[in-house]
Amino acid sequence: DVKVTQSSRYLVKRTGEKVFLECVQDMDHENMFWYRQDPGLGLRLIYFSYDVKMKEKGDIPEGYSVSREKKERFSLILESASTNQTSMYLCASKTQGAGGLYEQYFGPGTRLTVT
């Protein structure tokens, strides 16, 4: 079974803190993604990575950065957390190939609250 795990299910941070969200997949997938999910807005892509040390901006990268030092691990970093970054964060991975022909496997999500 494909497994995507996220370091925390729930996280509460203060405004201005640096926040790290970790994601690990065990299927040797090349592609990894970070999304945020907000009611009525669906999933919006923050960043994705095709390979180790490779990253590309998604639709809403502002206020976020990422790191991929190992193939199985993709980290999302909030340099200075703000209240508008309160959201559900979902990590996903998939094998390389046309985006719509292969399943994206999702982690359970991290619900981040910034106070």
Partner 1 sequence: TQLLEQSPQFLSIQEGENLTVYCNSSSVFSSLQWYRQEPGEGPVLLVTVVTGGEVKKLKRLTFQFGDARKDSSLHITAAQTGDTGLYLCAGEFGNEKLTFGTGTRLTIIP
Q: Which CB atom, from 74 or from 105, has the smaller least distance to partner 1?
A: 105
**What character string, x for contact with partner 1 (CB under 8 A) and - otherwise, covers 4-23?**
x----x--------------
Residue 89, token pair as written in the block: 């964060």
Q: Which of residues 84-103 bind partner 1 (CB under 8 A)?
A: 90, 92, 96-101, 103
Q: Is-contact 62 43, C-beta < 8 A?
A: no
CA–CA separation, 50 and 112 (whole Å): 25
Q: Is-contact 26 40, C-beta < 8 A?
A: no
Give the interface with partner 1 as residue ranges (CB under 8 A).
4, 9, 31, 33, 35, 40-45, 48, 50, 58-59, 90, 92, 96-101, 103-109
